[in-house]
Copies of this chain bind each other. A is one copy, B any other.
Amino acid sequence: MRDARSTPARPDAQRNRERILAVALTELTRAADTPVSVIARKAGVGQGTFYRNFPNREALVLEVYRYEMRQVADSAAQLLADRPADRALREWMDRLARYAMAKAGLADALRAATSGHGSLAQVGHGPVTEAITLLLAANEAAGTIRAGVSPDDFLLAIAGLWQLDPHSDWEPRAARLFDLVTDGLRAGAPGVERMPRHPDQRASG
């Protein structure tokens, strides 16, 4: 492993690392249990080179998954600029769901590699938590959710997402989960006296 403070890697070494990551994304999405040896071979490097770049298999999987999560996380700011806070939150959840399902192979790889420590939802921790913080703050300010809900609370409430089977008809189940969570967040919010139960349902980003 090489950190930001050390001498920059030789360009060819740099490229090795990137190739490994690219191959890992493709390969682990297809089959979560692809051996390190196969990933190394397809990336055109020896196993030793793999372990020069990553301390172990888990570190690789984590980095790949983290990168993917950051993509969704980063879209939150834009959504908030375009729509009312409650619509932005719901659209973001929908995107998260699509991402989580598209990368389910990766998620399995992560579960297998990190069994025991580190839960799936908290992987993008930096970016994802930031995104949720933004979304919750905007909604709290708009009076569309109650105060005092932490990003951690929110993540825990939607954790069921990662239990859905991407090969199944997961959309309605995710929608029902989001409806329930939305109602839970709304309960006791200042802007809510007699509100329809989950009005976002009729909309589609």
Which residues of A approach B to under 8 Å, CB–CB?
32-33, 108-109, 111-112, 115-117, 119-122, 149, 152-153, 155-160, 162-165, 173, 176-177, 180-188, 197
Contacts and interface: CB of A to CB of B under 8 A. Distances in A.
Contact of A160 (B108, B149, B159): B159
Of listed A116, A173, A182, A197, residue having the most chain B CB within 10 A: A116
Contacts of A157: 157, 160, 177, 180-181
B115 A111 contact: yes
14 contacts: A111-B112, A112-B115, A112-B116, A121-B160, A122-B163, A153-B177, A153-B180, A156-B160, A156-B173, A156-B176, A158-B160, A183-B184, A184-B184, A188-B197
A182 B108 CA distance: 30
A180 B173 CA distance: 18
A163 B112 contact: no
Contacts of A186: 187
Total copies of the chain: 2
B183 A187 contact: yes
A20 to B, nearest CB: 22
Contact of A156 (B152, B177, B185, B187): B177
Contacts of A111: 111-112, 115
Contacts of A162: 159
Contacts of A160: 121, 155-160
Nearest to A184: B184
Q: Which 3 A-B pairs have the closest CB atoms?
A: A184-B184, A156-B160, A183-B187
A149 B176 CA distance: 9
Given A109-B115, A153-B176, A157-B177, 5 more contacts: A112-B115, A112-B116, A157-B160, A180-B184, A188-B197
Contact of A180 (B109, B120, B163, B181): B181
Contacts of A173: 152-153, 156
A158 to B, nearest CB: 8
